[in-house]
Amino acid sequence: MSVQGFATTTSAVTTAGSGKARRVKQSLTSPWATAAAILIAVIWTIPTFGLFVSSLRPAGDIRSTGWWTVFVNPSFSLENYESVLFATGASSANLGSYFLNSFVITIPSVVFPLVIGTMAAYAFAWIPFRGSSWIFVGIFALQIVPLQMALIPLLQIFSQALGISGTFPAVWIAHTIFGLPLCIFLLHNFISEIPRDVIEAARVDGANHTQIFFRIIVPLSLPALASIGIFQFLWVWNDLLVALVFSGGTADVAPLTQRLAEMVGNFGRNTHLLPAGAFVALIVPLIVFFALQRYFVRGLLAGSTKG
Amino acid sequence: MDDLLGKLGVLVIGIVAFAAVVGVVLFLADKAPKRGRDFIQLLAFTAPAIILLLVGLVYPALRTIYLSFFDRRGENFIGLRNYEWMFTQPEILTVLGNTLLWVVLVPTVSTVVGLAYAVFIDKSRGEKALKALVFMPMAISFVGAGIIWRFIYEYRAEGFEQIGLLNQILVWVGAEPQQFLVNSPWNNVFLIIVMIWIQTGFAMVLLSAAIKGVSIETIEAARLDGANAWQSFWNVTVPAIRPTIIVVVTTITIATLKVFDIVRAMTGGQFSTSVIANEMYTQTFVRTEFGQGAALAVVLFIMVLPIVIYNVRSLAKQREIR
């Protein structure tokens, strides 16, 4: 973190602070700070807003004029959405099929690591055994290892030993593996905070690990599972690299991101389809994000305050 | 329709099979004989995760290191020649330079803008909505972001009507439209802006939570001592949120090192904009140069390694304290 970087963006704060001793609460909320905040908010929002407006314009307009001209001569149509989703033919976007693939890929890729991760997290937190700490730290370290390190050999395992390369199970397993370290780490942080009394009481009543797991750990971990689940959902839904390597890249298995990346590759020909196409891909994560923002933020904070 | 049913069928079968396997494993653990039950149950809970990680991450990572010393098909040992290739090819040196540029710019700018924004909107009216606006790009895929920004940067020759906002602004102020994604080396900066756009929200949310955790008494004490807003921010707030700043910077740094999708979707690595992760993909899966691809992955790993070690050490310290 460079001090110099700070100086450039916080000039607004310094000018703001020269005023009289107001209440601390309002110390930094001066007109300058407000103006800077609004400016940042606008810069951050306009790109997405512009794409949304574009997606609703007739194909010819997208190619010939900028989206801001709709404020002068408004003309809207849904034809782009219709053609990216439903048009059939060799050169069509065919996003309907890829949209389905994204769901088929994402649901198991969220469920599998959560289940396996909760089991492992419980064991690391509550079943004492030799080497437990070391293995846990090792798993934590794996979370940071770039997945590029694993791609080539894992692909070889899938294609040669298992023969599942280019199928849904290959993508599920790959996502499960790559998601596990973070899932285990975050869930462990949460599960190890469950009061010891609760678990001791169950043990005294004669419950074994399986029973404790289903009756205590899973119900109590639901908030954490929700946060981490959202994370894994966004990560899998938005992923391109894993999909490119393991899905085979056809309409049979590949997700939306893969098809969109392909369409951008021929930007000139697809100019009018891309805004609608991108929005089809954005809409699901945006709904998830706005509906479950609370859990999402909580998950983020849990992951980082401990790390 | 057949497509739909077939795929949903795969989905259902996959989930049912998974549930069956997990169910059987836990059921057997539950019914294990008294002798050695603890061990069997421990195994049942940890084995699935550990096996997957060993087979899917640990072994592949080691094998990638091994492959990086072999030729394109992984048959003949060629020593360090892949690494020699990497550091002598001008194109690959550009790739390494670009990656450094990303790693310097993205974490710094995202953190600074995120922190400034978090401070500016702290306790203001509509804070939640203002946060959501900057945070929203976090939910958008890198590919989606790539498309969004392709339209911002879109170029039409001078005299034609511009459809990209940035060039339109240039025209409005009387400047010449630019090919933002083609003209090297500045095109790298325009790709980096996309990553900053995505990561700033992440930095902002974490730092905002940290700022709210700084006790008001300390800040008030500083103000009574005559510190102005800037001084109390710099001398009280920043040291108090230092741990969070470190987390934010390291997390964004790792994400930046691995960045692939943005480059892939926006330029495909052309016009000298490739980065290590993208080049690794190109070498391995486009040119089938497995050795060179593996060597690039290893270099990426070495760049992340200091952060791994730092984090592992602080985690180990934390567990000791507990």
Say if residue B139 is in the same domain as residue B13: no
Q: Domain check: are B131 and B213 in the same one?
A: yes
Exposure on the CB side of residue B235, measured as CA atoms within 13 A: 14
- The C-alpha of B319 sits at a distance from chain A's nearest C-alpha, in angstroms, of 8
Q: Quote the distance between the C-alpha of residue B303 and its chain's center.
A: 14
Same domain, B96 and B7: no
Using an 8 Å CB-CB cutoff, list chain A residues near B130. Answer: 37, 41
B197 located within any domain = yes
Cβ separation of B281 and A28 shorter than 8 Å?
Answer: no
> Are both B61 and B116 inside the same structural domain?
no
Domain hosting A156: range is 95-306
Q: Running DSSP on this structure, what letter comes out for residue A26?
A: G
Mean pLDDT of the region B130-138 = 89
Residue A297 lies in a domain: yes
Beta bridge partners of B77: B70
CATH number of the domain that residue A196 is part of = 1.10.3720.10
Instruction: With beta carbons less than 8 A apart as the criterion, state whether B56 and A177 touch.
Output: yes
Q: Are A189 and A302 in contact (CB under 8 A)?
A: yes
Give me the CATH number covering residue B263: 1.10.3720.10
Q: Are residues B110 and B200 in the same domain?
A: yes
A222 in any annotated domain: yes
**Of B200, B10, B140, residue with least CA distance to A237:** B140
- Of the candidates A111, A181, A240, the beta carbon closest to that of B142 is on A240
User: Which ranges of chain B would DSSP assign to H, the alpha helix?
Assistant: 2-30, 37-53, 59-67, 81-88, 90-121, 127-135, 142-153, 165-172, 186-213, 216-224, 229-232, 238-240, 242-257, 261-266, 276-281, 290-321
Mean pLDDT of chain B: 88
* Chain A positions in Cβ-Cβ contact with residue B165 (cut-off 8 Å): 46, 50, 66-68
Host domain of residue B21: 2-67
- B221 inside domain: yes
Residue B125 in domain: yes
CA distance A31 to chain B (A): 10
The answer as to whether B22 is a domain residue is: yes
- Domain total of chain A: 2
Residue A82 lies in a domain: no
The dihedral formed by the CA atoms of B185, B190, B191 and B195, expressed in degrees to the nearest 10: 130
Contacts of B144 (CB under 8 A, 6+ apart): A238, A257, A260, A278, A281, A282
Q: Are A124 and A135 in contact (CB under 8 A)?
A: yes
Is residue A300 one of the residues assigned to a domain?
A: yes
Say if A69 falls within a structural domain.
Answer: no
Give the pLDDT score at A27.
Answer: 47
Between the alpha carbon of residue A68 and those of residues A65, B133, B149, the distances in Å are 8, 20, 15
Residue A266 domain-assigned? yes
Let me know the angle formed at the C-alpha of B182 by B178 and B187, rounded to the nearest 5 degrees. Answer: 85
Domain shared by A137 and A42, yes or no = no
Of B3, B124, B151, the CB nearest to A54: B151
Looking at the fold, whether A105 and A217 belong to one and the same domain comes out as: yes
* Structural domain includes residue A71: no
> What is the separation of C-alpha A271 from the centre of its chain, rounded to a whole number of angstroms?
26
Q: How many domains does chain B have?
A: 2
Which residue of A141, A238, A241 is in closest CB contact with B308? A141
pTM score, whole prediction:
0.86
- Same domain for B133 and B22: no
Q: Which 8-state DSSP code applies to residue B162?
A: P
In a domain, B167, yes or no: no
In the three-class reduction of DSSP (H, G, I as helix; E, B as strand; rest coil), residue A250 is classed as coil
Q: At what angle do helices A95-126 and A79-86 cross, to 10 degrees?
A: 70
Provide the ipTM. 0.86
Q: Kindly state whether residues B188 and B61 are assigned to the same domain.
A: no
pLDDT of chain A, 307 residues: tens digit per residue = 233 333 323 333 333 333 333 444 444 557 888 888 899 999 999 999 999 998 888 888 888 888 888 888 888 888 888 888 887 765 676 888 889 999 999 999 999 999 999 999 999 988 888 888 888 888 888 887 788 888 888 988 998 888 888 889 999 999 999 999 989 988 888 888 888 888 888 888 888 888 888 888 999 888 889 888 988 998 899 998 898 889 887 778 889 999 888 888 888 888 888 889 899 889 999 898 888 887 877 777 765 544 3
Which residues in B lie closer than 8 A to residue A37 (C-beta atoms)?
117, 120-121, 124, 130
According to the model, what pLDDT value does residue B320 have? 66
CB-CB under 8 Å, B200 with A141: no
Q: What is the per-residue pLDDT across B197-220, written as a single tens digit (0 to 9) for each?
A: 999 998 998 899 888 888 888 888
Residue A170 belongs to some domain of the structure = yes
Whether the Cβ atoms of residue A119 and residue A213 lie closer than 8 Å to each other: yes
Considering only residues A8 and B303, tell me which one the structure prediction assigns the higher pLDDT. Answer: B303
A44 and A162 inside one domain: no
pLDDT value for B94:
92
Question: Quick one: A135 and A222 in the same domain?
Answer: yes
Say if A165 is an interface residue toward chain B (CB within 8 Å): no
Handedness of CA B131, B133, B136, B137 (dihedral sign): negative
- Write the DSSP assignment of B230-272 as a string of letters: HHHIIIIIHHHTHHHHHHHHHHHHHHHHT--HHHHHHTTTTTT
Q: Which residues of A touch B205 (CB under 8 A)?
A: 297, 300-301
Asked if B45 contacts A212 with a C-beta cutoff of 8 angstroms, the reply is no
Could you tell me if B213 and B94 lie in one domain? yes
In this structure, the answer to whether residues A249 and A152 fall within a common structural domain is: yes
- In DSSP terms, B70 is beta-bridged to B77
